[in-house]
Every structure is written in C-alpha cells, then in structure tokens.
C-alpha cells in the first residue's frame, strides 16, 4: 500500500513538472512567485531613477507628538501597513514604519506608478515633445496606424477610456495582465493589442493604457522612461533616494503600469508636487494647467456627465465635501493630497480592503480620516 502511494506521489510530481515546463515563461513565474509582492524589484531587472539633487524634508516642531487612535491603528495593522506618513506645510508631522521597514526602505508602488506616468506626459507636453493630449497614439506607435486603433488618442489612454481589449485579471496566472507583470516583452504585447470599444466613451480601468503611454513617452523624448523621470522629475523634486523602475527584461522597457520602487518620504514628493500645482521651490516642474486637469473629474465624449472618481491617471475621492486626488496601488499604496490642510499623506503596505465604497476600497476612507484626526 505504501509503495503504491509513493508511486502515485512520484507520478503526480513528474506530471506537474512536465506541465510546468510546458507553460509559457510568464505563467511559470506566476506559479513560482504565487502573488505580487512589494519587494518584487528583487526578482526583476531594474533601471535606476537617479536622485542627483537630494534634500531632506523638514521636521515639524510637533513631529510624532500625536498618536493615532486605536481604531486607526487596528486598520493599519489589519492590512499589513509598512509606512504611514503625514507631511504638512512641507514638514514631516507624523511617520511610523512597520514590519521591518524604515524611512530608507524602498517598495513597489504598483499602480500608483500610473500617476507618475501622467505627470511625465504633462512634462513632455510642456517641452513640446508631445504637442497635445489629443494627438493620436498612431503618431508614435506604428501598430496603432491601422484599423480601429487609429482613433485612440493620448487623452483616451490618460482617462482609461481607450476601448482597447484587455483582461484586468490579477489572480489568473494565464491572464494578459499576468503576462505583462511577469513576462519579458511589453512592446510585443502593445503591438498585438486589439480594440473592443469606442475610444473616449467609457471608463474602463486597464493597466495597458499606461503601458502604451510609456511607449509614447519613450518615442517622443528619445529616452527611457526612467532616464526622463530622473532628469525631468526626480532630480527637480529633490528626492533623497534613487528609485528603481522594474523592467520586462535587462535593458528593456519599464513596467510603467506598476513597479516604480521608492520610499514613503520620496513618494510624498509626488503628492507635494500636486499640492504645489506642479511647482517645486516656486519653479514649474509640471504645467499648472495640466495638473489641474489631471486631478479633476474627466469628461467623456460619449456623455455629458463627468467621471467623478478619475482624471488623468489620478483617482479622486469625494469625502465630506472635499475632492481629494490620490494615487493608488493594488496592495494599498496610496498618496493622498489634502489641499485644505496643505498636507500629503502616504500609506504603503501589503494589503488593502477588498470591499469598495463606490470606486474606492473602504480602507482609503480610514487613512484619510486618520490623517485629518492628526491634522486637527
């Protein structure tokens, strides 16, 4: 009986091994790593976004003098928070780190990187590298020159309304989203895209929109996304630490829809830039008019209604009469801009609520409430 059980076990192991070897590389990686992690930069190739002009944040006189209430602390613990940071009046008012992380530890932004790509598009427009958000993507990417894709504009991509066919499935190891995350050729994925809707008519959150934007940016500027971010953004906002942008392969394309790896303090600079309407130390980094449009409700060509929760790759939270723009990643990576308090809030971690209120995970409201409690 024991011998039979051993034979069955060995047969099963061999069969699973054969199946694994027959899988495409990206599916093998998905099964090997099981779930996306905030430290996945360690398993990917990366390109450095250089911090060549570092300047630390000021420390507020009341730094860490206030404690979060127990209810808020329970929420932070429940979703495996690694960092909670509040900047007010350009000074650190509150910061706590958990699960072995510190102010110098980098972690994955996941989809909060989409908001960074949006800012880079705004900068490229200001420099004349891209003439307008209304330009067709076909002006930059040849695979968009034929068929229904001809009608897709940069603005459609920014508003998540491109009509491109895409399965935004994170748990399916065979989905195209998994292929984009673990695969080795993002440009091939972009070249093979097909359409399923009419551009500009309907909001449908699809990560591929951001990846196409990144390819447009690369063609328009003649630089990698990371190099352009280093020169036109990271250096200008005086980031303290080099960031890493994960690539599809060595020397390849940035995983622009996710995978910008930085610290909580430096992520806060992205929020501060929005709070400053695109300026840093009084100097324009991103055009003011672009920031205003990017963080305001988008308007679609198919209806007269505004999309109240999204702009140009920035989420918008309507909370207690306030309109709060924020960047968002799948494991609870958040950068909130609290304009009425002249404050920025960053929450990083390993999880978020799976229940939504409208278009926002419920834990979003908890972090905003906690920040306002600290800022009273």
What is the C-alpha to C-alpha distance for residues 300 and 161, in angstroms, rounded to an integer? 8
With beta carbons less than 8 A apart as the criterion, state whether 362 and 356 touch: yes
Mean of pLDDT over the chain: 91
pLDDT > 50? residue 122: yes
- The CATH superfamily label for domain 40-374 reads DD-peptidase/beta-lactamase superfamily (3.40.710.10)
Q: How confident is the model at residue 178 (pLDDT cuts 50, 70, 90)?
A: confident
Summarize pLDDT for 262-317 with one digit per residue, the tens: 999 999 999 999 999 999 999 999 999 999 999 999 876 565 556 789 999 999 99
Domain boundaries, the chain: 40-374
**DSSP β-ladder status, 283-284 and 279-280:** antiparallel
How many Å is the maximal CA-CA distance in the chain? 79
- Residue ranges of alpha helices (H) inside the chain are 2-22, 25-33, 70-78, 113-126, 154-158, 176-182, 186-191, 207-221, 225-229, 264-275, 288-294, 362-374
Pairwise pLDDT comparison (312 vs 12), residue with the higher score: 312
- Give the CA distances from residue 202 to residues 63, 205, 215, 302, 303, in Å, rounded to whole numbers and listed in that order: 45, 10, 23, 7, 9
Summarize pLDDT for 19-65 with one digit per residue, the tens: 445 455 654 555 455 578 999 999 999 999 999 999 999 999 999 99
Pairwise pLDDT comparison (229 vs 176), residue with the higher score: 229
What is the C-alpha to C-alpha distance for residues 130 and 221, in angstroms, rounded to an integer? 8
What is the C-alpha to C-alpha distance for residues 233 and 240, in angstroms, rounded to an integer? 13
What is the C-alpha to C-alpha distance for residues 207 and 255, in angstroms, rounded to an integer? 10
Q: How confident is the model at residue 7 (pLDDT cuts 50, 70, 90)?
A: low
């Amino acid at each position: 009986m024991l011998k039979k059980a051993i034979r069955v076990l060995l047969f099963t192991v061999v069969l699973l091994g054969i199946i694994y070897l027959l899988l495409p590389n990206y599916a093998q990686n998905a099964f090997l790593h099981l779930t996306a992690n905030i430290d996945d930069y360690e398993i990917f190739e990366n390109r450095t976004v250089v911090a060549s002009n570092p300047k630390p944040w000021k420390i507020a006189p009341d730094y860490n003098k206030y404690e979060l209430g127990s209810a808020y602390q329970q929420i932070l613990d429940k979703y495996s928070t690694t960092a909670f940071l509040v900047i007010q009046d350009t000074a650190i008012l509150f910061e706590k780190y958990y699960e072995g992380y510190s102010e110098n530890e980098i972690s994955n932004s996941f989809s909060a990187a989409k908001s960074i790509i949006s800012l880079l598009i705004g900068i490229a427009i200001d420099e004349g590298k891209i003439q307008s958000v209304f330009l067709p993507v076909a002006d930059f990417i040849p695979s968009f020159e034929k068929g229904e894709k001809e009608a897709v504009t940069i603005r459609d991509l920014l508003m998540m309304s491109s009509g491109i066919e895409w399965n935004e499935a994170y748990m399916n190891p065979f989905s195209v989203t998994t292929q984009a995350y673990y695969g080795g050729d993002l440009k091939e994925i972009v070249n093979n895209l097909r359409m399923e809707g009419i551009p500009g008519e309907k909001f449908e959150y699809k990560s591929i929109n951001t990846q196409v934007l990144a390819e447009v940016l690369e063609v328009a500027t003649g630089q990698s996304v990371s190099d352009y971010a280093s020169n036109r953004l990271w250096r200008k906002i005086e980031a303290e630490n080099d960031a890493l942008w994960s690539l599809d392969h060595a020397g390849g394309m940035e995983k622009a829809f996710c995978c910008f790896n930085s610290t909580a303090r430096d992520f806060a600079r992205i929020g501060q830039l929005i709070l400053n309407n695109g300026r840093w130390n009084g100097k324009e980094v991103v055009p003011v008019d672009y920031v205003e449009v990017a963080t305001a409700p988008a308007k679609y060509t198919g209806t007269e209604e505004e999309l109240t929760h999204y702009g140009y790759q920035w989420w918008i939270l309507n909370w207690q009469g306030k309109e709060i723009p924020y960047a968002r990643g799948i494991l609870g990576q958040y950068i909130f801009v609290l304009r009425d308090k002249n404050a920025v809030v960053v929450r990083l971690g390993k999880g978020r609520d799976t229940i939504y209120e409208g278009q926002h995970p419920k834990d979003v409201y908890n972090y905003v409430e906690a920040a306002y409690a600290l800022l009273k």
